[in-house]
Amino acid sequence: MPTTHAPAPRSAPHRDPRPAPRHDLPLYFVLAFLVAWGCWGAALAIGGDAMKSAAAGPYLLGAFAPLIAAFVVRVRRRRRGEPVPAYVVRTARGTLWRAPLLLLLGAATVVGGALLAHAAGEALSLDSARDALDEAGPAAFLVSMVVAGPLSEEAGWRGTAYPRLRERAGRVPVALVLGVVWAVWHLPLFFIEGTVQKELGLFTPGGLFFALSNIPMAMLCCFAYERAGIVASMAVHFAVNTSMVLLDVKTPATQALIVGMQALVLVGLYAGTWGDGAAGGAGTAGTAGAGEPGRGREGARGAGTPAEYVS
């Protein structure tokens, strides 16, 4: 007797149970600019030295705008149950050793440029370093250099904006874009008394080179973030800022040589094989032909230390 077989039921198509991520990148940028420019506008309206008057409060709060914006984006993402962006990089135990090397590299670009400028006839003095260390002591100075810039900004620009931009473009274009955005973000500081930017002047060679220096600085921090996460990008940010302050880098010639030194270093870093790998040796996520964005990052995320990034 012939038998018939009912067709096997088709399985439902696989769906990712995680909700698709919202477009929170615009939210980050709006908050980073709105909080910073609002606070710095208040400091400008109050008047006086940014560090020695009633303007100090809003001036310092504005510096934390990237961190505040990053925190808001992270809370929003977690409440919506959205996945961590594919290009977020944790500082894994296996990559932490890179942070001090990148710190030294960041400092070397400034010191090297300053020494070249000195060899070309520019004055090089350590008086600023002695004054900075004597004013509040070495420990307080170092803490202030960690807080002002590395801690207040890196979780935002690198830990939040960079991974989301990387889903749209490659390493170099994203780093360049962040450098330009970073330069624009600093613009109000040129009008506030007591800031380095005000001392340099907006429409001067020194002001121009300060704005330009944000681009290689951003690229160095982005490279460090890809190699070892926020700890590494903070290390580079700290190294460059601290070296600039201690060497009192303000002349256009010295600024130009430092920017040039950083550009040469970046060419080597991004062209080298180390620049092609993902953090922790977990693959080459996001590179051409690498398949789905971020797949190679899963191993790095799993090996990371607990929650040291903001995304």
The token duo for 280 is: 């922790």
Q: Is 12 contained in some domain?
A: no
From 2-11, 37-46, 108-117, 129-138, the region with the lowest mean pLDDT: 2-11
Residue 201: name the closest of 151, 138, 252 by CA: 252
Q: Tens of pLDDT along 236-286?
A: 999 999 999 999 999 999 999 999 999 999 999 998 854 444 443 333 333
Which residue bears the tokens 């002002």?
148
Number of domains the chain is built from: 1
Q: Is the pLDDT of residue 147 over 60?
A: yes
Q: Which residue range(s) make up the domain with 262?
A: 89-270
Residue 134 lies in a domain: yes
Beta bridge partners of 92: 304
Residue 24 has pLDDT above 50, yes or no: yes
pLDDT tens for each residue of 57-75? 999 999 999 999 999 999 9
Please state, in angstroms and as integers, the Cα–Cα distance from residue 40 to each residue in 67, 189, 289, following that order: 16, 7, 44
In a domain, 125, yes or no: yes
Matching residue, tokens 């690498």: 290
Mean pLDDT over 275-299 rounds to: 37
Residue 302 Cα distances to 86, 89, 92, 294, 296, angstroms: 13, 10, 9, 13, 11
Averaged over 214-228, what is the pLDDT?
97
- The residues, any chain, with a CB within 8 Å of residue 292's CB and separated by 6 or more, are none
Of the candidates 163, 182, 293, 150, the one whose C-alpha atom is nearest the C-alpha of residue 226 is 163
Q: What's the whole-number mean pLDDT along residues 193-213?
A: 96
pLDDT confidence tier of residue 23, bands split at 50, 70 and 90: confident
Query: Has residue 287 got a pLDDT over 70?
Result: no
Residue 61 lies in a domain: no
Which pLDDT does position 135 carry in this prediction? 84
Residue 105 has pLDDT above 60, yes or no: yes
Q: How far apart are CA 284 and CA 166, in angstroms?
A: 13
* Residues above pLDDT 90, as percent of the chain: 69
Residue type (1 letter), 163: P
Q: Quick check: is 239 in a domain? A: yes
**Does residue 128 lie within any of the structural domains?**
yes
Residue 291: how many other CB atoms lie within 10 Å: 12
What is the rounded distance in angstroms from the CA atom of residue 128 to the CA atom of residue 9?
77
Helix (H) or strand (E) holding 147: none
Residue 82 lies in a domain: no
Average pLDDT of the segment spanning 192-209: 96
Both tokens assigned to 228: 């070892």
Amino acid identity at 79: R
CB count, 10 Å around CB of 263? 13
Give me Rg for the CA atoms of the chain. 23
What is the pLDDT at residue 97?
95
Q: What is the largest CA-CA distance in the chain?
A: 104
Q: Residue 46 pLDDT > 90, yes or no?
A: yes
Task: List CB contacts of 53: < 8 A, sequence separation 6 or more.
Answer: 46, 47
The CA-atom distances, in angstroms, between 180 and each of 63, 71, 94, 130, 252 are: 17, 23, 32, 33, 19
**pLDDT of residue 307 exceeding 60:** no
Q: What is the mean pLDDT of the chain?
A: 84
pLDDT at 273: 52
Give the C-alpha separation, 248 to 260, whole Å. Answer: 18
Residue 104 has pLDDT above 90, yes or no: yes
Region 191-197: what's the mean pLDDT?
A: 95
User: Which residues are 304's β-sheet partners?
Assistant: 92
- Region 221-228 average pLDDT: 96
In angstroms, rounded to a whole number, what is the distance separating the alpha carbons of residues 171 and 274?
A: 13
Query: Looking at the domain assignment, is residue 111 inside a domain?
Result: yes
- Select the more confidently predicted residue: 133 or 119: 119
Q: Is the pLDDT reported for residue 112 higher than 90?
A: yes
How high is the pLDDT of residue 22?
60
At 158-189, the pLDDT tens digits run: 999 999 999 999 999 999 999 999 999 999 99
Cα atoms in the Cβ-side hemisphere of radius 13 Å centred on 87: 27
Tokens of 184: 């624009």
Q: Indicate whether 16 pLDDT > 90.
A: no
